[in-house]
Chains A and B, each alone.
Chain A
Amino acid sequence: MRKAPKHEPIAELEVTEPKEWAAGVPAVKKALEYSLSQTSPKRTALTLLTMNQVDGIDCPGCAWPDPKPGHRHKNEYCENGAKHINDEATSRRITADFFREHRVSELAERSDEWLNAQGRLTEPMVKRAGSDHYEPIAWNDAFALLADELNALDSPDEAAFYTSGRVSNEAAFLLQLFSRAFGTNNLPDCSNLCHESSGTALSETIGVGKGTVSLDDLHHSDLVFVVGQNPGTNHPRQLSALEECKRNGGRVIAINPLPEAGLKRFKNPQKARGVIGSGTVIADKLLQIRIGGDLMFFRGLNRLLLEAEDAAPGTVLDHDFIDSSSVGFEEFAEHVRTTEWEEVLAASGLSRAEIEDIRDEVLKADRIIVCWAMGLTQHPHAVPTIREIVNFLMLRGNLGKPGAGACPVRGHSNVQGDRTMGIWEKMPDSFLDALQAEFGFDPPREHGLDAVGAIRAMGEGGIKVFVGMAGNFVRATPDSAVTEAGLRQCRLTAHVSTKLNRSHAVCGEVALILPALGRTERDRQATGEQFVTVEDSMSEVHLTKGRLEPASPVLLSEVAILCRLARATLGDRMEIPWESFEGDYGRIRDRISRVVPGFEEFNARVVKPGGLPLVNPVNEGHFRTSVGKAIFTCNSGSIPDVPEGHLVLQTLRSHDQWNTIPYSNDDRYRGIHGDRRVVLVNAEDLAAQGLTAGDKVDVVSVWSDGERRAEAFTVVPYPTPRGCAAGYYPEMNVLVALGSVASGSNQPAFKSVIVRLERV
């Protein structure tokens, strides 16, 4: 194990050719190197060998599902999962001495990487009003302080409770219960930032806000589209599923602005062909689409399918499905037939021949799945884009059948489960009624604030107390300067955290750090050792149980922190047995059984190997939409106008990064080493602007309320389509205007940023 760094790493950019394949032996080496830099071989072995196993630790890295029990590898994890879990299992510790040594204002100058590298938080800390230091505080005093601030608010709506997707089902259920018992629906969450557009589009068109496929479907599909997604970095285990699909005879089409290594070829480190062979080609066709051109691409593709049906009636469309299970086909077809090819080609940057080639692939496939991630959801027109994908799936009846369906691929390990548990500012009355019947209080019915709404309210003085349940709110959100100003304006900010991050340094007048047990650690309560549950991206709910001794004996679990905060805040105002919940998480699950549909007999069912799969109504022949059938829609929209000399910039993660936290300055698949302050631009665009590789520029975004500037970035020529650019998140978040959101979902448009480059 290496000690925590005292100094920032020196940035020294080296650019190499982007890689042509992902994983393989280097991935194993990198995973072990990072793990062993954080902790001992024994702890590394314990975390890795129990990771994603039945009764083991669910990887907090992403929400990709696990294979069925009996089908899991002994090493059922990926490079980034291994790095992430040992980043939490690190043997480095932050004590009160650290905070004596480092002022809060000094921490605010530090990089995300440096803050994270200091190790695990070990005791509750408080920054008092006017102070520039955190100091220790007893747990009871911390809860009393937070409770007093909450109870002193003029209205419960002056508080906001943010949830990160790492939070378990049990803690999420308690958080929404506490928030609503306290009196507010202000429950912003990281779903607001990643897949809100997916949920909005899917709910409206097929009646469920989640994907419809399982791993089995993916393995046995004829054709899988991977759109706006980089599985090699963000969901590496998906590559194993795509490899299995290919070996079963399926084909894969990738549509992405960047030619990511993981979309090209996968060397599965679990297989001989991946270690000593050349691996498996993943994408049979890789279309480098212009940023935000996906809606027009799918409209063009849908038009081609309609025309193919015209040419050979009864052979292309699934009339049985369209007639019996959907509405709106005629209007949709009329609308799509008006699609102008000039518009399709301009928006997508593709040729008509390329799109016709994809049509031919579609016509040969009986079962089709479309996977997507934030390359689709973080645009102003994200919701219509995803609705158009649903149209595409429905045309040939690719919903509700094995090997077919919609697959939004989620990032945080329990981001889907947290929403299932009621973390949403607009929960339907049916859920609130169930909550009322179960707990005997009337939850507030007025909708609360989402992430963007909460930031805006902070700036306007409407939110005075902000509680972050895990996560790193200030770095996960757009418009960094506005968000930071908002948080600093709060009377109190409190973060339940395992490690240090910028949200502790950019804080309210008073700030609390409430250190929690990690996913990897044993959780012992009054009735014995506890487990918690999570829901993966394919709606399988299963348990996760830590195996390591806690980083500090005084750490509390997230459940315990919430129960104690609720008791301190609500006193005897409600008859909710918080103490009982803290002592036995099974009692929380009993309540979940009675409040959340689909969780009946939760305790009994979730302990079965593999857990509890939620039954998706679409796969049972039910479309729970407003009309009881799947709905075809007419969709329009595009990225904002791009003025002459400007580019469309997408923010993205590097390979050596977990959400907001970079582990190093490297992004080896893309050939970027030693420095993250780069902007990737098509070489011809650079030449047109008189720039050459290595030039320093300010990246300036334009929005209706003015310009924003990210200073001193190095330009790197990169094979991205003309007119497009890319830069790392969260460094580029400063460029994303708070008002730049997806229509219908209010999700920040992190991937539609109009920028120009100004030479420094």
Chain B
Amino acid sequence: MVRRSVEVAVPVRTAYDQWSQLETFPRFLQVVHEVEVSRPTLTRWVVGYGPLRHEFLAEVLEQQPDEHLRWRSLGRRLRHRGDVHFRALGPARCEVTVAMQMDAPPLLGPAARLLAGRFVTTLLESFRAFIEGVGAAGLSWRGGIRDGRVEDVGGKAPDFPEWPHG
């Protein structure tokens, strides 16, 4: 597990709101080419360097606004998991910490840790530069997720044809 932190000169809510807009990751992280949010707990990612591409699904296991988000990748290749924590350092300053682990056979463990470390460092620095540069995050989903399930906070349910289907 690698762990890195960065201080960001925006309020913790701004940092969280920006981060939780997962579809915007390609704007600040070159290695991420596409993110599609199927539902709050399930996202599809296309990442890669140069001509190489890797596509995977990621599940959000836990998410609490302005506090943390925990994920894991699904599928059998390049499996990884991690979490990100947000901590207020003042009204306009916060700390973002990412911990990430890549599953790898024992022999490739050091290489996986090195790769994860470089990725997390790049991720946090890119995120800091981006959110400080744009200054504000747009409207974001501020629901909670616990044990892989969206918490019912009593808000409006999505429009859906709810009558019985035969």
A residues sitting closer than 8 Å to B (CB atoms) are 68, 189-196, 198-200, 202-203, 207-210, 214, 216, 219-220, 247-249, 318, 320-321, 324-325, 397, 399-403, 415-416, 419-420, 424, 426-428, 431, 596-598, 600, 613-617, 619-624, 629, 745, 747
Tell me which of B39, B41, B166 contacts A199 (CB under 8 A).
Answer: B166
Of all chain B residues, the one with the shortest Cβ separation from A320 is B147
Q: In the bound complex, do residue B39 and residue A615 qualify as a contact, i.e. CB atoms below 8 Å apart?
A: yes
How distant is B153 from chain A, measured CB to nearest CB, in Å? Answer: 7
List of A residues within 8 angstroms of B146 by Cβ: 320
List of B residues within 8 angstroms of A190 by Cβ: 166
User: Is there a chain A Cβ closer than 8 Å to B149's Cβ?
Assistant: yes
Tell me which of A426, A613, A622 contacts B157 (CB under 8 A).
Answer: A622
Q: What separation, in Å, do the CA atoms of A28 and B76 have in the docked complex?
A: 29
List of A residues within 8 angstroms of B59 by Cβ: 220, 402-403
Q: In the bound complex, do residue A614 and residue B157 qualify as a contact, i.e. CB atoms below 8 Å apart?
A: no
User: Is there a chain A Cβ closer than 8 Å to B164's Cβ?
Assistant: yes
| Contact A620-B75, Cβ < 8 Å, known A216-B42, A597-B160 | no
Q: What separation, in Å, do the CA atoms of A318 and B149 have in the docked complex?
A: 12
Q: In the bound complex, do residue A401 and residue B162 qualify as a contact, i.e. CB atoms below 8 Å apart?
A: no
User: Is there a chain A Cβ closer than 8 Å to B40's Cβ?
Assistant: yes
Q: In the bound complex, do residue B150 and residue A621 qualify as a contact, i.e. CB atoms below 8 Å apart?
A: yes
List of A residues within 8 angstroms of B166 by Cβ: 189-196, 198-199, 415, 419, 424, 745, 747
Q: What separation, in Å, do the CA atoms of A125 and B61 have in the docked complex?
A: 60
Q: In the bound complex, do residue A209 and residue B165 qualify as a contact, i.e. CB atoms below 8 Å apart?
A: yes
Q: In the bound complex, do residue A619 and residue B41 qualify as a contact, i.e. CB atoms below 8 Å apart?
A: yes
List of B residues within 8 angstroms of A624 by Cβ: 157, 160, 162
Q: What separation, in Å, do the CA atoms of A629 and B159 have in the docked complex?
A: 17
- In the A-B complex, the 4 residue pairs with the smallest Cβ-Cβ separation, listed nearest first, are A191-B166, A199-B164, A621-B150, A196-B166
Q: In the bound complex, do residue A202 and residue B157 qualify as a contact, i.e. CB atoms below 8 Å apart?
A: no
Tell me which of A200, A402, A619 contacts B164 (CB under 8 A).
Answer: A200
| Contact A216-B38, Cβ < 8 Å, known A198-B165, A200-B164, A415-B166 | yes
List of B residues within 8 angstroms of A191 by Cβ: 165-166
Q: In the bound complex, do residue B39 and residue A220 qualify as a contact, i.e. CB atoms below 8 Å apart?
A: no
How distant is A734 from chain B, measured CB to nearest CB, in Å? Answer: 23
Tell me which of B40, B44, B149, B163 contacts A321 (CB under 8 A).
Answer: B149
Q: In the bound complex, do residue B162 and residue A424 qualify as a contact, i.e. CB atoms below 8 Å apart?
A: no
Q: What separation, in Å, do the CA atoms of A470 and B83 have in the docked complex?
A: 53
User: Is there a chain A Cβ closer than 8 Å to B148's Cβ?
Assistant: yes
B residues sitting closer than 8 Å to A (CB atoms) are 38-42, 44, 57, 59, 74-76, 143, 146-153, 157-166
Q: What separation, in Å, do the CA atoms of A249 and B41 have in the docked complex?
A: 21
| Contact A419-B143, Cβ < 8 Å, known A247-B76, A325-B152 | no
Of all chain A residues, the one with the shortest Cβ separation from B166 is A191
List of A residues within 8 angstroms of B153 by Cβ: 621
How distant is B129 from chain A, measured CB to nearest CB, in Å? Answer: 31
| Contact A617-B160, Cβ < 8 Å, known A199-B166, A397-B149 | yes
Q: What separation, in Å, do the CA atoms of A191 and B165 have in the docked complex?
A: 7
Q: In the bound complex, do residue A598 and residue B159 qualify as a contact, i.e. CB atoms below 8 Å apart?
A: yes
Of all chain A residues, the one with the shortest Cβ separation from B57 is A216
| Contact A621-B143, Cβ < 8 Å, known A195-B166, A209-B164, A614-B161 | yes
Q: In the bound complex, do residue A400 and residue B150 qualify as a contact, i.e. CB atoms below 8 Å apart?
A: yes
List of B residues within 8 angstroms of A614 by Cβ: 160-161
List of A residues within 8 angstroms of B57 by Cβ: 216, 220, 402
Q: In the bound complex, do residue B75 and residue A622 qualify as a contact, i.e. CB atoms below 8 Å apart?
A: no
Of all chain B residues, the one with the shortest Cβ separation from A428 is B163
Q: In the bound complex, do residue A596 and residue B147 qualify as a contact, i.e. CB atoms below 8 Å apart?
A: no
List of B residues within 8 angstroms of A400 by Cβ: 149-150
List of B residues within 8 angstroms of A629 by Cβ: 152
Q: What separation, in Å, do the CA atoms of A635 and B41 have in the docked complex?
A: 32
How distant is A250 from chain B, measured CB to nearest CB, in Å? Answer: 10
How distant is B59 from chain A, measured CB to nearest CB, in Å? Answer: 5
List of B residues within 8 angstroms of A203 by Cβ: 162-164
List of A residues within 8 angstroms of B158 by Cβ: 598, 615-617, 620, 622
Q: What separation, in Å, do the CA atoms of A745 and B158 have in the docked complex?
A: 26
Q: What separation, in Å, do the CA atoms of A712 and B74 have in the docked complex?
A: 54
Q: What separation, in Å, do the CA atoms of A200 and B44 have in the docked complex?
A: 33
List of B residues within 8 angstroms of A194 by Cβ: 166
Q: What separation, in Å, do the CA atoms of A190 and B126 have in the docked complex?
A: 55
Q: In the bound complex, do residue A249 and residue B76 qualify as a contact, i.e. CB atoms below 8 Å apart?
A: yes
| Contact A202-B164, Cβ < 8 Å, known A220-B74, A613-B38 | yes
List of A residues within 8 angstroms of B152 by Cβ: 324-325, 621-623, 629
Q: In the bound complex, do residue A617 and residue B163 qualify as a contact, i.e. CB atoms below 8 Å apart?
A: no
Q: What would be 9 A-B contacts, judged by CB atoms less than 8 Å apart?
A: A190-B166, A192-B166, A209-B164, A216-B38, A248-B75, A402-B41, A620-B158, A621-B153, A745-B166
Q: B38, B39, B74, B161 — which one has the most chain A CB atoms within 10 A of its CB?
A: B161
List of A residues within 8 angstroms of B75 by Cβ: 219-220, 248
List of A residues within 8 angstroms of B160 by Cβ: 208, 597-598, 614-617, 624
How distant is A456 from chain B, measured CB to nearest CB, in Å? Answer: 18
Q: B57, B75, B153, B163 — which one has the most chain A CB atoms within 10 A of its CB?
A: B163
Q: What separation, in Å, do the CA atoms of A397 and B147 have in the docked complex?
A: 9
| Contact A208-B162, Cβ < 8 Å, known A248-B76, A401-B41, A619-B41 | yes
Q: In the bound complex, do residue B38 and residue A199 qualify as a contact, i.e. CB atoms below 8 Å apart?
A: no
List of A residues within 8 angstroms of B38 by Cβ: 214, 216, 613
Q: A191-B166, A195-B166, A200-B164 are in contact. List 17 more A-B contacts (CB 8 A).
A: A192-B166, A199-B164, A208-B160, A216-B42, A216-B57, A248-B74, A321-B147, A401-B147, A402-B41, A402-B74, A597-B159, A597-B161, A613-B38, A617-B162, A619-B150, A622-B152, A623-B152
Q: What separation, in Å, do the CA atoms of A400 and B151 have in the docked complex?
A: 10
Of all chain B residues, the one with the shortest Cβ separation from A195 is B166
